[in-house]
Structure 1
């Protein structure tokens, strides 16, 4: 099986590059790996000649994995947050005295998504990504059937909490899988495609929810989720391979020390040590005769590694270290603030638009949600391909050397969108008689774009900064904001009642603006904190 990269769609050949120590020191002194070599993009991490390396997957299979993970995430998000669109119908299912407790159907899922990440991410390190992802799909399927057949509110709440445990992997494990099958220079674009599939799927099903629940009932809504989850489980079993791969540490810098025999084949017992590098202008020849071929029996195995339970404790320790990295903690706060903006707007836009003078119907609210597709049309080219183009351009300007801080520059765009969104939405919601309905709909989608844009930038930056700690970093950013969301869900109504829409939105705009200013010191200090934590806490990896 051959992989496909930017310049050569047929196959990619291995070239052995002898680089002197002076070249290595030059790269190190510039502060980052060499992304360009002779005007060609260096593939980072360096792909192995082993056909079973997930970086060597065919392009069609990589996109299949993006679609599978994206569809799973879309219906996971739909199941946890979609009830808000039809909440009056849900309330009507239960006696009036249970109305207060019925709000647990909306508030607890975000908490349990965060808890799910706390357990699943360390387990994915101990046993592999594939078994945890498949187990999540099985649990998602079983819990959706549970919710569809629940006879009481208590059972319904319990089923949704279990559903949310399984849905949590859409936040951290899903982008980790996408990151592990792609190279540094293409990560923003591929993460954007994943977010795009997720967003489009959720938006389309949101409008379907507003039509389905009033006519067919909540049972069939969960039934559709179960059916799609079952199909996704089958597709994942056959196409989503294990993406964890143990590769040399120096592969993260684009150069790998390998032993070769006299015929030029990779051989651990070979007499000659060479620095091995692959670029988009070189062909990469796989060596199944040395490492063994990638076969269906290999891909379909559930477990590929002997469980390493001690690694779970190491994972939690490294998660704490990652939380202490100033730039990572800043990104967590930024993600939490933009998520807070989206939570406040998502929790209130329906009641604002359905009340006079706008008088929207439930179906019209569904169409409003469908406009999130436009967010993806902006996200993928601007913060996906645009960010990767910016990274390559700035690396060329700096003698071909890549710095993770290049990833932070596009963050200015969603930051500006968040501030504009908060200010306009607050005024349109507080004084609907003076502002058109677009003052609600436009800022609502602008706020969502700010959140997902910040998410894409944060994931790419953190993974590029500490490639060996991608799991703990994603847990901090993705699961951390889930806990923030849970806290915000309880403060939405009281804050609006006390401060008004404009007061609550002004506070978020100010906090978001102040945090955005830290983009400049984060860009300047990123290399310092990266070296500090790599050498002092992460063993120099």
Structure 2
């Protein structure tokens, strides 16, 4: 290829120093978007993947997350049929529903350090294999104990869908597009999951619950085969300057190149130095050499995350909104099936179909809307971006979740006074609120501490899984002592209070991040 004009590619020059202490990076320069992180000249850099490869990777990661969520958390609609095969063991059979959330959190704590030290691809593929094997185990189990054990192992594999999957998505995209790409990930995952929630009752009625597992094992085998080909390694070591958006490519080197090749984003690729990207490189099961000494360091970083006020707040925020959704998902069937609503068992899946509407609203509003918001705020700040610009979008799901939770509690306590929509609509509104807390938490944590993205995502995702496990056991006692209305008032107040903390964090977040960087991160790396 002949020399090409690359003036349209905007990377912050080394002379334009970014402020690392307050978290600001230059997102706009000369009215053009700066690519953050700055992609390298290596064709193997995941940021240099062509758009179609990124979309295929995103869809496959979302498909894995979908089947993981359905298998680990989607047994609710079919549980009554499963429990019939274990007469006299109904109480113990509840472990099929409650323990998966605990083991999903534990799965993150066990496997994410290996994703950190050995790379994302081998852990992702190993999780897929474990998910397939555990699915076959559950399908062929001959006792309740074996079934519970199989689901626990399955949940260990499914847990990576909460931290590893969004981390892969954000690592192959630039800062200015992360919001909508994470939104697409959530959208695909939950749209497909909603379809399976609705159809699960019909699948079980036609095939039995064992082939419910069999269907997803076959589907996961297909996803695994495609993932071996297309899910490339997304971990890539970058210098601090590149993380801040500063180009590390010497202009003199570019001028000396006889043939210039550009990536899909218009960045220069040094084929002479690194060689072209080849399929046989992408097909390697492991690209990086494992560094076992980094495993304890990863756990140290997790503990540091609990010490940073903003990360700990994100954990509580996600846990609170997840708690409301868990409470409602555990109780909506017992409210809708008796009089006055008289829902049939096969109709319960359609209640969760309302999550399709939540996802359709969620994608443009919080995904694309979030990216447009940070662009608008950055332009007003002379082109400088701060992670806190993600926080204003939290207002919409927070208000929706709090109001919806209060109405749900009142309708559940007095069903004869409320239309059925007061339960169905508010239940799906709580799902929308959790999605909002989830995407704000993920993007804000990654943007605030890009070099600590993996361990801090584990803090949020594994922590909320443990919170969910505790809440699943506390649901019935809470209803017995406080009633539906009292329980929802308490949880709505907690959610509202945690959401309001976003206001002081918007103003004091940069200072908090600066202190955390100075006393934890920089000190740790020195």
User: Do both proteins adopt the same fold according to a TM-score greater than 0.5, normalized to the shorter chain?
Assistant: yes
Q: Segments of 4+ in structure 1 off by > 2 A?
A: 10-21, 27-31, 256-266
Q: Alpha-carbon deviations, 1:54-73, whole Å to 9, x = none?
A: 00111111111111111111
Task: State the shift of 1:207 in Å.
Answer: 1.1
Contact 1:248/1:256, CA 8 A, preserved across alignment: no
Structure 1 residues 68 and 421: alpha-carbon distance in aligned structure 2, compared to 1, 3 A threshold: same
1:465 maps to 448
**2:244 and 2:364 mapped to 1: Cα distance?**
27
1:526 maps to 509
Equivalent residue for 1:250, pick from 234, 241, 244: 241
Contact 1:14/1:284, CA 8 A, preserved across alignment: no
Task: State the shift of 1:256 in Å.
Answer: 3.2
2:346 maps to 363
Aligned to 2:506, the other structure's residue is in SS state helix
> Which sections of structure 1, spanning at least 5 residues, go unmatched?
2-9, 267-277
TM-score (normalizing by structure 1):
0.92
2:285 maps to 302
Aligned to 1:44, the other structure's residue is in SS state coil
State the aligned residue count. 519
Contact 1:430/1:500, CA 8 A, preserved across alignment: yes
Structure 1 residues 18 and 459: alpha-carbon distance in aligned structure 2, compared to 1, 3 A threshold: closer
Mapping 1:148-159, distance limit 5 Å: 148-159=139-150
**2:519 and 2:471 mapped to 1: Cα distance?**
35
**1:13 and 1:456 mapped to 2: Cα distance?**
34
Asked whether 1:24 is paired with 2:35, we answer no
1:442 maps to 425
Equivalent residue for 1:38, pick from 7, 30, 37: 30
Equivalent residue for 1:176, pick from 167, 179, 183: 167
Mapping 1:332-343, distance limit 5 Å: 332-343=315-326
2:185 maps to 194
Equivalent residue for 1:86, pick from 62, 78, 83: 78
Contact 1:45/1:184, CA 8 A, preserved across alignment: yes
Mapping 1:289-328, distance limit 5 Å: 289-328=272-311
Q: Alpha-carbon deviations, 1:366-414, whole Å to 9, x = none?
A: 1111121111111110110000000011100010000000011111111
Aligned to 1:464, the other structure's residue is in SS state helix
1:138 maps to 129
- Aligned-CA RMSD value: 2.2
Equivalent residue for 1:163, pick from 142, 154, 158: 154
Task: State the shift of 1:190 in Å.
Answer: 0.4
Mapping 1:55-94, distance limit 5 Å: 55-94=47-86
**1:521 and 1:374 mapped to 2: Cα distance?**
32
Structure 1 residues 141 and 264: alpha-carbon distance in aligned structure 2, compared to 1, 3 A threshold: same
Task: State the shift of 1:74 in Å.
Answer: 0.8
Contact 1:42/1:279, CA 8 A, preserved across alignment: no
> Which sections of structure 2, spanning at least 5 residues, go unmatched?
none
**1:228 and 1:11 mapped to 2: Cα distance?**
46
**1:365 and 1:533 mapped to 2: Cα distance?**
47
**1:283 and 1:246 mapped to 2: Cα distance?**
21
Equivalent residue for 1:241, pick from 232, 242, 253: 232
Asked whether 1:402 is paired with 2:381, we answer no
Structure 1 residues 263 and 47: alpha-carbon distance in aligned structure 2, compared to 1, 3 A threshold: closer
**2:112 and 2:5 mapped to 1: Cα distance?**
34
**1:140 and 1:60 mapped to 2: Cα distance?**
27
Aligned to 2:291, the other structure's residue is in SS state coil
Asked whether 1:215 is paired with 2:206, we answer yes
Equivalent residue for 2:470, pick from 460, 478, 487: 487
Task: State the shift of 1:263 in Å.
Answer: 5.8
Task: State the shift of 1:20 in Å.
Answer: 7.4
2:176 maps to 185
Contact 1:31/1:527, CA 8 A, preserved across alignment: yes
Contact 1:340/1:485, CA 8 A, preserved across alignment: yes
Task: State the shift of 1:16 in Å.
Answer: 8.9
Contact 2:374/2:390, CA 8 A, preserved across alignment: yes
Structure 1 residues 413 and 18: alpha-carbon distance in aligned structure 2, compared to 1, 3 A threshold: closer
